[in-house]
Structure 1
Amino acid sequence: MINRLFSIFVAPETAADDQAGRNRLAALRQAYEDWRFGRDFAAIMAAFGRMSDHQLHMIGLSRDTLFETVEDMMLDAERERALGREVAALLEVSPSAMQMDAEATVVKSDPDRKLQAA
């Protein structure tokens, strides 16, 4: 019992348990991302709030539109991070998966001949 409580990895007993665990993990990740976004937003607003109007003007901001500007900056940064994650996922495709895709493609003129991966 103690070993199971302190084990790093506990294999799910059923596929339903495995899926439920994945759903909980996804929900936990989303909650953490939301918390981080709120914390980062507050830190940026606090830093800009300490600046004088002249300093804000020098970097192209005004105190009246500060909230909207920071919100737009954070959303742009999130879009860029999402794009980066998509690119990384595409680049992480294993060579064996690429080989399997190439082998699955058959030349129409000669069905017995398979394409080689480039």
Structure 2
Amino acid sequence: MAIFEGEKLVAKFDVGSYFYIAAKSDANRDGVNELLLVGNNLQMGIETKWSKLINLTQNKLQVVKDFKTVYENTCEGAAIKKKEISAAFIKYKFIPSQNSPLFSAQNLILPCRQ
């Protein structure tokens, strides 16, 4: 990941297998937006996505929360018997006494379209 001010490169970070920024939010209310990074893979008809929330401060990348696998679609997987779509519904609540967000996730499972 590269951060620019105008045309000047000001920072760069290795984010591994995360390919795009899905959202930004000031989850910890410090005035600086955290970034939700997402990676994805499509292999043998199975689509998988993973995600983590990061904070970029003082030219350092800090992982706020690693959500791991957040989406899996096995509907087109030829070798898979149980075909379904699984997605994480993630929400957070800011806890003022801890000055940080509390995350919770609910896994939703849907049948494939016929």
TM range (shorter): under 0.3
Structure having the higher Rg: 1
Relative to the length of structure 1, the TM-score reads 0.19
More strand by share: 2
